[in-house]
Structure 1
Amino acid sequence: MVRLSTVAFGLLASLANGVAAQSSTTSAPVDDSGLSGSVLVGFPTVNVTAMIAKAENQLGVNGTVTDNLPADYSTPGTVVKARDLDFLKLMKRDSLNSILAEIACLALQIAFGSKLAQQGTGNYNSWNNPSFWSATTYMTPTCVFKPANANDVSLAIRIIVLCQSQFNVVGGGHSAIKGWANVEDGVLFVMSGMTGVTVVPPSGNNVGVAQVPAGERWGSTFTQLDAKNLMALGGRMSTVGVPGLTLGGGISYLSNQWGFVTDQVQNFEVVLSNGLIVNANKNTNSDLFKALKGGSSNFGIVTRFDLRTWPSNGIYSGQFMFTNQNDFPALYDFTYRYHSSLALTDVTTHVISAFVYVAGFGHIGAFTAFRNIATATPGPSLQPLLDINPSVTSQAGLAVRPYGQQCILLGSGDVTGLRQDMRDFSAYISASMYKDMWNIWNTNVASKFSTVAGFQGTIAFQPITTTNIAAGKAAGGNSLGLDNNTGTMAIINLTHQWSNSANDAAILAALDSTLALLVSYAKSKGIYHPYYYLNYARKQDNPIGSYGSASVSAMRTVSRKYDPLGVFQDLVPGGFKIPS
């Protein structure tokens, strides 16, 4: 037997019978007083059951879904009989996912018209694969749905859940894992139609926020904020989408100063699996609020992110390309010094230390330096990097620029449509690890594939300082499980790209063995840290499990409360799930 909350059951009843429910929209966070209070509900008078029945009739499969809705469906406060959903789950088990997806897609077509694209149509082709960064993620969903607002998402999720169709959601699509933001037999939500940043200035005790819809990418978001002389924590590359990075934690140019990106979210607008649109913040649905800070796509579809803003007249930043490997020892030494002390001396700074191999060119030390100050002053934390090779410094373009322009600068070389792979692990820092890890990577990956067409490989070291973690705690905390860290750690990130799928097996095998060697090295030196940064993690790793048992237990409780039928665990085939 499965028991729904009274509110959830009442909503399902209104869906079946077309009974009016509250409907409103807002441009500012609202206090919905939890699940038992007022909520935003889209298209409340639409008779969803009739839509599904019409779709079944057109497909010649009458009664497939509608005959198996709960017998007591329209009686608020009673128990939904599990047997009614069991029939549809049996169909899924018997490889009939496609029938359920076809019913859901046709019902969505009836409801939304041109916002829904079936296979073989022009919009299907233009909305599907172009939404994804890596060719390794291409799939053929039954249909693609492009909502314009949260109300669209609300109605669509009700149709899909009643049909028990699989579905998935793509924001920026900047993952390399097949199926993590895509689906084969099912509905793909493409959120790129939901854009436009709304700035809400500070008022009383409330900080200023940027309300960012789920279809935005960071380059566009920051460009809109630059125009108002504002900044917010967000992604460091313009092409990355807002939803995935934020829900996975998110590293920012400002993280050393103010924590992870998710730490400075003031409110999430979320569509739950029963169609309710709720707000999650420190006062309302606060348990959901914390779970979303690192919990990825396990609880609902986030349709808007309210990000804290700060005034900004510009920042000092730029990139450095060291093409002489004679500079590398000094770069290793600088990276350790920055991670161990310089970053703590000046929390306004951020440095990405990356070592890149480009087929046909060779090795590069690619360093990005940032300081949250509107004057051309590197300060004692960045000056040692500038001193390594003055000729590189003079060519680096280090300058005062609008905050968002650094994001665009780093993202300008990002390419879509290649084969991509990302993976990571973490370690407490040591003076020797940077050179040692580079050697392991170079021997086992870079040198092996130096002649492969389109090959480019990167090993990058990204600090998570104690000031970063303390700033997150001060802002209310997250679900990442790093609160008790005793020192600076580094996320060791491997990112690789190549052109031909024929090289997939060899390159991925080498990357698997190399990651194992790097982890073994860290363990042998006593510096291994169990944390996996979700936004870089490979499919077979368990980033949410790495947050620790207390965080995982809390997430399970939140999932049962806000998604009692386990929709986001069962009907969404991809993504990192909450460990059982």
Structure 2
Amino acid sequence: MDQSIGQFIGQFGIRSIPVSSCCIQIASVLRSKVSFPGTSSYEATQESYWSIQEASLYPSCIVVPDTAQDVSEAVKILAGFPDCQFAIKGHSHMPASGFANINGGVTIDMTTLSSVTINNDHTVVSIGSGAQWLNVYTYLDTLDLSVAGGRNGLVGVGGLTLGGGISYFAPRVGWACDNVANFEIVLASGELTNANATSLPDLFRALKGGMNNFGIVTRFDLTPFPQGEILAGVIANPISDRDAVFTAFSNIAGSEEYDPYASLVTGLGYNSSVKGSWSIGTTAVYTKPESSPAIYAEFVAIPSTQNTLHLTNLSTFADETNTPPLNWQFFTGTYGVSANLMSRIFDSLNSTLYNLELPSSWVFWDIAFEPLPTIMTQYGDKNGGNSLGTSPKDGNAFVMLLSALWPNSTFDEVVQETAEKMTRDIACIADDMGLLHEFQYINYADPSQDPIGSYGVQNVEYLRQVSRKHDPKGVWQRQVPGGFKLGLKY
């Protein structure tokens, strides 16, 4: 080791985790932007993870770049060490272990790249890939503008957009990724470049759904639109009225004339510490400043235990309280719209969870249903296209997010097995009814699922071709093990 580098590394009091050669080389270039175990900056990143599964991994070093050029320098070095694996961290709201952190390798924490700016004629919003959506909405609300982004303001811009992205504005403008005008990206060679409809258009399309398979996006340029106040809030109902809620949801989600300003998420909640303890509620948003839109009249007519619908702005409504670190589990599926299917899903869930015993601990289960209407998927062929494979020919559908959160890691295996069983049982029910869709939303998927495969054979092959072209050595496939990979061999 070079003596000066050794002295630089030594000042951090490294302990327990071996320092890899690639960490030493990156530190020789980026100096204080590289942190090691035992330092406050290293621990700050480790403590920022949303899930215990991710926080339980310990990289040899953590790189916190200040600029896109810093990312470029780090990737150039990493690509020269084929045995050095690394992970890319935004705000890590995909909870699976290894998706945004790594044991013994290098974690690149992008959250310092969080600037939000707009051009002079207000046609392009430029967002650092480490920003949270709340940063974006707070900035744009003052300009009476918005963009398609995450509904929870604490979610990161990077992960949500690269996975597609469902927003409150989805019926009006499509997936969040459909609204990207340009990606600033660091390729496997370390080159910092731009991908858009005229420059690297193949990569531009691949990034819209392709996640971390092609490079590290350092900036997203999004197309804004005029936006004032919205109607937003939660309607909670007695679980005994669930069938009425399912009918109201289905009447909106399955409508041939879907209201482009309507967005809703109907959720079932179950607390394992109280047997049979179910709740049901709907987060409803109307992206026009109307206090009583007709589209929600059926929901409002159902007896409720809470109704907080009110006019507000997006930055206020999206400013949610973060949860403490917990174990998290995600599974997903997509199905044709049917109130009967939703009722049968509830019965299936109840049968499994009622008999689940977890002594001395608890698990909270949340099953969310979100419309995927054709008015939203019609944007998939516009603005250079996307890679998701969703299309109006699939008909109106809804996406399910089955999630679990629990404090005691002792029960990781039983929660995983239970979640897998429930997802499998729901798929069987939907298949029997002719309502099972192939698409799996990647931002809600478990590592055991195959969301990229659900994009369809042609899209998968397209993604592989783009990968071979822009990453011939397979840096993103071999050295970045986290996330959903393309299945390429090298």
**TM, length-normalised to structure 1:** 0.79
Aligned: 1:189 with 2:108: yes
Contact 2:380 2:390 in 1 (8 A): no
- Tell me the distance in 1 between the aligned counterparts of 2:250 and 2:278: 20
**Residues 386 and 55 of structure 1, relative CA distance in 2, 3 Å threshold:** farther
Aligned: 1:133 with 2:34: no
- Tell me the distance in 2 between the aligned counterparts of 1:234 and 1:480: 17
**Residues 370 and 113 of structure 1, relative CA distance in 2, 3 Å threshold:** same
Show the counterpart of 2:278. Answer: 363
Residue-by-residue CA offset, 1:528-572 (whole Å, 9 max, x unaligned): 111110001100111111101111111111111111111000001
- Tell me the distance in 2 between the aligned counterparts of 1:514 and 1:229: 43
Q: Which residue, out of 420, 432, 438, partners 2:346?
A: 438
Offset at 1:360? 5.2
- Tell me the distance in 1 between the aligned counterparts of 2:475 and 2:182: 23
Alignment of 1:191-210 (within 5 A): 191-202=110-121, 208-210=123-125
AA partner of residue 132 (structure 1): Y
- Tell me the distance in 2 between the aligned counterparts of 1:56 and 1:301: 30
Calculate the aligned-residue CA RMSD, in Å. 2.0
Contact 1:545 1:579 in 2 (8 A): no
Give the secondary structure class of the aligned counterpart of 2:393. Answer: coil
Between 540-549 and 481-490, the greater mean CA deviation after superposition: 481-490
- Tell me the distance in 2 between the aligned counterparts of 1:399 and 1:415: 24
Contact 1:55 1:103 in 2 (8 A): no
Between 221-230 and 249-258, the greater mean CA deviation after superposition: 221-230
AA partner of residue 2 (structure 2): K
Contact 1:247 1:296 in 2 (8 A): yes
**Residues 515 and 345 of structure 1, relative CA distance in 2, 3 Å threshold:** closer
Show the counterpart of 2:94. Answer: 175
Show the counterpart of 1:257. Answer: 172
Contact 1:273 1:563 in 2 (8 A): yes
Offset at 1:119? 1.4
Show the counterpart of 1:16. Answer: none
Offset at 1:133? 0.8
Contact 2:363 2:405 in 1 (8 A): yes
- Tell me the distance in 1 between the aligned counterparts of 2:67 and 2:446: 31
Q: Which residue, out of 391, 396, 412, partners 1:504?
A: 412
Q: Which residue, out of 463, 466, 473, partners 1:565?
A: 473
**Residues 238 and 57 of structure 1, relative CA distance in 2, 3 Å threshold:** closer
Residue-by-residue CA offset, 1:334-387 (whole Å, 9 max, x unaligned): 111111118x34111111011112355732212111111123232x21111111
Q: Which residue, out of 118, 121, 137, partners 2:39?
A: 121
Show the counterpart of 1:75. Answer: none
Give the secondary structure class of the aligned counterpart of 2:50. Answer: coil
In terms of Rg, which structure is larger?
1
Show the counterpart of 2:28. Answer: 110
Show the counterpart of 2:10. Answer: none
Aligned: 1:525 with 2:453: no
- Tell me the distance in 2 between the aligned counterparts of 1:351 and 1:446: 27
Show the counterpart of 1:218. Answer: 133
| Stretches of 4+ aligned residues off by more than 6 angstroms | none
- Tell me the distance in 1 between the aligned counterparts of 2:215 and 2:314: 31
AA partner of residue 244 (structure 2): A
Aligned: 1:280 with 2:195: yes
- Tell me the distance in 2 between the aligned counterparts of 1:509 and 1:549: 29
Show the counterpart of 1:291. Answer: 206
- Tell me the distance in 2 between the aligned counterparts of 1:383 and 1:331: 12
Offset at 1:515? 1.2
Q: Which residue, out of 453, 456, 466, partners 1:548?
A: 456
Give the secondary structure class of the aligned counterpart of 1:425. Answer: strand
Contact 2:273 2:362 in 1 (8 A): no
Aligned: 1:237 with 2:152: yes
AA partner of residue 377 (structure 1): S
Aligned: 1:54 with 2:2: yes
Residue-by-residue CA offset, 1:170-216 (whole Å, 9 max, x unaligned): 101111210111111211001111112011244xxxx7121110111
**Residues 558 and 316 of structure 1, relative CA distance in 2, 3 Å threshold:** same
Q: Which residue, out of 371, 381, 397, partners 2:308?
A: 397
AA partner of residue 375 (structure 2): T
Q: Which residue, out of 338, 353, 356, partners 2:266?
A: 353
- Tell me the distance in 2 between the aligned counterparts of 1:162 and 1:220: 35
**Residues 528 and 201 of structure 1, relative CA distance in 2, 3 Å threshold:** farther
Show the counterpart of 1:48. Answer: none
- Tell me the distance in 2 between the aligned counterparts of 1:446 and 1:247: 37
Contact 2:269 2:365 in 1 (8 A): yes
Alignment of 1:376-395 (within 5 A): 376-378=291-293, 380-389=294-303, 391-392=304-305, 395=306
Give the secondary structure class of the aligned counterpart of 2:482. Answer: coil
Give the secondary structure class of the aligned counterpart of 2:118. Answer: strand
Contact 2:336 2:435 in 1 (8 A): yes
Show the counterpart of 1:71. Answer: none
Offset at 1:477? 2.2
AA partner of residue 403 (structure 1): L
- Tell me the distance in 1 between the aligned counterparts of 2:147 and 2:422: 36
- Tell me the distance in 2 between the aligned counterparts of 1:546 and 1:461: 19
Offset at 1:253? 0.5
- Tell me the distance in 2 between the aligned counterparts of 1:283 and 1:479: 17
State the number of aligned residues: 475
Alignment of 1:21-60 (within 5 A): 54=2, 58=6
Contact 1:319 1:367 in 2 (8 A): yes
- Tell me the distance in 2 between the aligned counterparts of 1:170 and 1:223: 23
- Tell me the distance in 2 between the aligned counterparts of 1:449 and 1:315: 42
Show the counterpart of 2:482. Answer: 574
**Residues 160 and 350 of structure 1, relative CA distance in 2, 3 Å threshold:** same
Percent identity (aligned): 32
**Residues 259 and 181 of structure 1, relative CA distance in 2, 3 Å threshold:** same
Contact 1:251 1:261 in 2 (8 A): yes
Segments of structure 2 that go 5 or more residues without pairing to the other structure are: 8-16
- Tell me the distance in 2 between the aligned counterparts of 1:105 and 1:440: 49
Contact 1:359 1:452 in 2 (8 A): no
- Tell me the distance in 1 between the aligned counterparts of 2:336 and 2:3: 56
Q: Which residue, out of 307, 312, 324, partners 2:227?
A: 312
Aligned: 1:149 with 2:67: yes
Contact 2:243 2:339 in 1 (8 A): no
Segments of structure 1 that go 5 or more residues without pairing to the other structure are: 1-52, 60-97
**TM, length-normalised to structure 2:** 0.92
- Tell me the distance in 2 between the aligned counterparts of 1:500 and 1:539: 21
- Tell me the distance in 2 between the aligned counterparts of 1:169 and 1:332: 39
Contact 1:219 1:239 in 2 (8 A): yes
